[in-house]
C-alpha cells in the first residue's frame, strides 16, 4: 500500500483518479492498477487505520463509531420522530465503512439483483453479479468439529477462493445459537442451508469478514496488495469538486480539485475520474461540481452544468430497532468487555496469546423472515392496498416493492448477548435487533444551501413520513409481535428472564408500541440509491447508466453503494465489493476499446 505525500501526488500524471479510498474505492482502484498498465490515484479524506485495535479486533466492533474515523453524520430533524435527528455513521478512513462496520458478510436474494435488471439495467442481475461476489472473497471452511457441533450448512460452490477479502464462520459460537435455531424452527422459520446462494430467507449462522489465520478484520485495504507502485494513495485529502471541461457535446471530467492541510491542489486524469465517496458524499460532490437538480444547485449558489434531477434522491436505508431483554446471569456477555475490567483484561490477554475468546468474533445468530410467516392475512391485504395506492411511484417499481412484501425476507432479526449501555449489577442483558429490509419510504441527500455548501450534506431520510412511511411503521409494528414470540418461545425462553425495553405491557398496546418504534428507530449503516442506475428512465430515473457512467458527462463514473436503484434484503458490504469488481472490469473493457 503506497501512501504518498501531497507533493508527490500533485506532480503525478494519472490515468485514473478515484475519489474515496473506502470499500468500493480501494477495490476498483487496486483492480485498475493491477498489472501495472495504468497509473491510478486515490484521494481519501481519512487516514490509515490498519493496526488500530478498534478496527482490527473483531470483538471491538462498534467501538470506533463516533470516533475520529467516523464522519459522524446526522440526519436532518425528522418530523415524524418529533424533530429528532438520527446518527449516520460512515467510515472516514482508508478502507471507509469496511473499517468500522460490524463484519457481517452476506448477499441479497437472487430476486433483489434481478429487480435492478428488470428496471432496465442489463448486466446487473444475480447471474451477472455472482462471479464478482466470488472474485472479491476467499472463503475459509469451518473446522469440521465446529461445523458438526453447530450444524453449519452452506453451499461451497457459491464462494470464492482467491479474493482479497477473507471470510469465515466464527470458530467459537455463542451458546445461545442452537437455542436460536430451535426457537425459529419451532415458529415455522426453516434453516437456510444455502444462504449465500441466492435465497437469504430463513435462519442461519452468519459468516464474517474475519481472516481466521489472524482472527482480525479483513477489509478494503487488503485490495492494495494487488497493485504495485503505480497505485498512489493520498490521505487527509478533501475533494472540493470534479473538474469538468466544456465540449461541443457537453462536459468531460478531466480532474479533481481538493484541499490538503488547507492548501488547494488540482490533479488531472487522462482517462477517467471515478467517484467512490459513498451514498452520503458522492451526491454532494456531484452537486458541488455542478451536476444535479437546478433547484438544489441554485439554493447552494452553484452554477448548473448538467441538469440531473435524481442526484441525491432515492436514498433508501434499512430501519432498525433494538429490543432488550434480561437473560441468565451465567451467560458470558459482550458487555463484560466494557463493564468488567478484570474480564476485559483476561479477554485481551487470551486474544493476544491464542487469538481465541470473546474478542475473536462477533454475533452470528441471524434470521430473515417473510411477513407472510407471521402477519395475519387481513393485515397483509391492508398492506398490499396501501402499497398499491402509493403516489408518485412508477408502476414497475411499485410492483417490485409489493412483491417483496410477503415473499421475501422483509424483516431481519439478530440475537446478540449484550445490550450496552444498559448495565445493572448482577444482571445480564441481550439484544434482539429488528431491521426492516425493503423500506417503502425514500429520502434525499443534498448539498447545503449557500453559504454552507461545503459542510456536511443535508440528510433527509424521510423516516415514517407520508403514506410510504406509514406502511413502514405498520410493518415494524407487526414485526415487533413476532420479535416477542421469538423471545418468549421455547427454546430461547430458557435463558430469557424478562422483557425490559420495551416492557411487556407495550407489546399489547399498539399505540404505545408505535410510539416506542418512533422513539427508538436508528439507521443500519446500509444507505443506498443516491446516484442510482437509471434504467429505462435514463437521467429522469437515475444518475448513471448500466456502465456506471454519469449521464451528461464523459469520463466520469460512480462506483459505490449509491448506484443501487433498489435496496436489497441483506447487509450491503459484500454487494459493494461486487459492484466495484464489476465496475473495474467494465472500465478496463471500455478503455481497451478506446
Question: What residue has cell string 428472564?
Answer: 497
Answer yes or no: 571 catalytic: yes
Q: Which residues contact 86 (CB under 8 A, 6 or more apart)?
A: 74, 75, 78, 461, 463, 521, 522, 523
Q: Are 310 and 539 in contact (CB under 8 A)?
A: yes
Give binding residues as ranges. Answer: 239
Q: Which helix (H) or strand (E) holds 553?
A: strand 553-554
Answer yes or no: 526 catalytic: yes
Pick from 202, 184, 204: nearest CA to 491: 184
What pairs with residue 41 in β-bridges?
17, 232
Question: What residue has cell string 459513498?
Answer: 278
DSSP letter at 566? S
Strand pairing class (553-554; 319-327)? unpaired
Measured between alpha carbons, how far is 551 from 112 in angstroms, rounded to an integer? 24
From the number of C-beta atoms within 10 Å of its C-beta (0-12, 13-18, 19+), residue 36 rates as: exposed
Question: What residue has cell string 490515468?
Answer: 15
Give binding residues for FAD as ranges. Answer: 239
Measured between alpha carbons, how far is 42 from 488 in angstroms, rounded to an integer? 51
Helices in 460-509 by DSSP H: which ranges? 466-488
Measured between alpha carbons, how far is 184 from 486 in angstroms, rounded to an integer? 7
Q: Are 232 and 42 in contact (CB under 8 A)?
A: yes
Q: Which residues contact 330 (CB under 8 A, 6 or more apart)?
A: 428
What pairs with residue 167 in β-bridges?
139
Q: Which residues contact 534 (CB under 8 A, 6 or more apart)?
A: 120, 121, 310, 540, 541, 542, 543, 544, 545, 551, 565
Strand pairing class (306-307; 458-460)? unpaired
DSSP letter at 387? H
Measured between alpha carbons, how far is 507 from 518 in angstroms, rounded to an integer? 14
Residue 360, Cα to own-chain centre: how many angstroms? 22
Cis omega before residue 421 (within 30°)? yes
Q: What is the CA radius of gyration of the chain?
A: 23
Q: Are 19 and 285 in contact (CB under 8 A)?
A: yes
Q: Are 442 and 462 in contact (CB under 8 A)?
A: yes
Q: Considering 140, 166, 195, 526, which one is annotated as catalytic?
A: 526
Measured between alpha carbons, how far is 432 from 515 in angstroms, rounded to an integer? 18
Spell out the long-range contacts of 145-148 with Cβ–Cβ below 8 A and sequence spacing 24 or more: 146/171, 146/172, 146/173
Question: Catalytic residue numbers?
Answer: 526, 571
Amino acid at each position: 500500500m503506497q501512501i504518498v505525500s501531497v507533493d508527490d501526488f500533485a506532480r503525478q500524471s494519472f490515468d485514473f483518479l478515484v475519489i474515496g479510498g473506502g470499500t468500493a474505492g480501494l477495490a476498483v482502484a487496486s483492480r485498475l492498477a493491477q498489472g501495472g498498465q495504468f497509473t491510478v490515484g486515490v484521494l481519501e479524506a481519512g487516514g490509515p487505520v490498519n493496526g488500530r485495535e478498534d478496527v482490527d479486533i473483531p470483538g471491538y466492533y462498534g467501538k470506533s463509531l463516533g470516533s475520529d474515523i467516523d464522519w459522524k453524520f446526522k440526519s436532518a430533524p425528522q418530523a415524524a420522530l418529533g424533530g429528532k435527528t438520527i446518527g449516520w455513521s460512515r467510515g472516514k478512513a482508508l478502507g471507509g465503512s469496511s473499517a468500522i462496520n460490524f463484519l457481517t458478510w452476506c448477499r441479497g436474494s437472487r430476486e433483489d439483483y434481478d429487480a435492478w435488471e428488470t428496471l432496465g439495467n442489463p448486466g446487473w442481475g444475480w447471474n451477472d453479479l455472482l462471479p464478482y461476489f466470488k472474485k472479491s472473497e476467499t472463503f475459509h471452511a469451518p473446522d469440521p468439529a465446529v461445523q458438526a457441533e453447530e450444524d453449519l450448512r452452506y453451499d461451497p460452490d457459491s464462494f470464492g477462493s482467491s479474493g482479497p477479502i477473507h471470510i469465515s464462520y466464527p470458530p467459537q459460537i455463542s451458546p445461545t445459537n442452537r437455542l436460536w435455531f430451535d426457537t425459529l424452527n419451532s415458529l415455522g422459520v426453516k434453516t437456510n442451508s444455502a444462504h449465500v446462494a441466492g435465497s437469504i430467507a430463513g435462519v442461519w449462522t452468519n459468516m464474517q469478514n474475519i481472516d481466521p489465520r489472524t482472527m482480525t478484520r479483513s477489509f478494503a485495504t487488503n485490495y492494495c496488495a494487488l497493485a504495485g507502485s503505480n497505485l498512489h494513495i493520498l490521505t487527509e485529502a478533501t475533494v472540493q469538486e470534479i473538474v469538468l471541461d466544456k465540449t461541443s457535446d457537453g462536459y468531460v471530467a478531466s480532474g479533481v480539485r481538493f484541499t490538503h492541510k488547507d492548501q488547494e491542489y488540482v490533479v488531472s486524469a487522462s482517462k477517467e475520474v471515478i467517484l467512490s465517496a459513498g451514498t452520503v458524499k458522492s451526491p454532494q460532490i456531484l452537486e458541488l461540481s455542478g451536476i444535479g437538480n437546478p433547484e438544489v444547485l441554485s439554493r447552494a449558489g452553484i452554477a448548473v452544468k448538467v441538469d440531473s434531477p435524481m442526484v441525491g434522491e432515492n436514498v433508501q436505508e434499512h430501519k432498525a430497532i433494538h429490543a432488550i431483554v434480561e437473560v441468565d446471569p451465567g451467560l458470558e456477555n459482550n458487555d463484560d468487555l466494557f463493564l468488567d475490567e478484570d474480564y476485559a483484561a483476561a479477554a485481551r490477554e487470551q486474544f493476544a496469546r491464542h487469538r481465541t475468546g470473546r474478542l475473536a468474533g462477533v454475533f452470528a445468530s441471524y434470521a430473515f423472515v417473510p411477513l407472510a410467516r407471521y402477519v395475519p392475512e387481513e393485515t397483509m391485504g391492508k398492506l398490499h392496498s396501501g402499497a398499491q395506492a402509493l403516489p408518485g411511484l412508477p408502476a414497475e417499481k411499485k410492483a417490485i416493492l409489493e412483491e417483496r412484501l410477503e415473499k421475501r425476507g422483509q424483516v431481519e432479526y439478530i440475537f446478540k448477548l449484550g445490550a450496552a449501555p444498559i448495565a445493572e449489577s448482577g444482571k445480564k442483558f441481550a439484544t434482539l435487533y429488528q431491521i426492516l429490509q425493503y423500506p417503502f419510504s425514500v429520502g434525499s441527500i443534498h448539498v447545503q444551501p449557500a453559504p454552507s455548501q461545503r459542510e456536511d450534506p443535508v440528510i433527509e431520510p424521510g423516516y415514517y413520513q407520508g403514506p410510504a412511511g406509514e406502511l413502514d411503521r405498520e410493518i415494524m409494528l407487526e414485526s415487533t409481535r413476532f420479535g416477542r414470540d421469538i423471545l418468549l418461545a421455547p427454546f430461547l425462553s430458557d435463558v430469557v428472564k424478562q422483557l425490559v425495553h420495551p416492557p411487556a405491557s407495550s407489546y399489547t398496546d399498539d399505540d404505545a408500541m408505535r410510539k416506542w418504534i418512533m422513539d427508538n428507530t436508528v439507521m443500519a449503516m446500509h444507505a443506498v440509491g443516491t446516484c442510482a442506475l437509471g434504467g429505462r428512465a435514463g437521467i429522469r430515473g437515475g444518475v448513471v447508466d448500466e456502465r456506471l457512467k454519469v449521464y451528461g458527462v464523459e469520463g466520469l463514473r460512480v462506483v459505490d453503494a449509491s448506484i443501487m436503484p433498489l435496496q436489497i434484503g441483506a447487509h450491503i458490504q459484500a454487494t459493494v465489493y461486487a459492484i466495484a469488481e464489476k465496475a473495474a472490469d467494465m472500465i478496463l473493457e471500455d478503455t481497451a476499446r478506446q
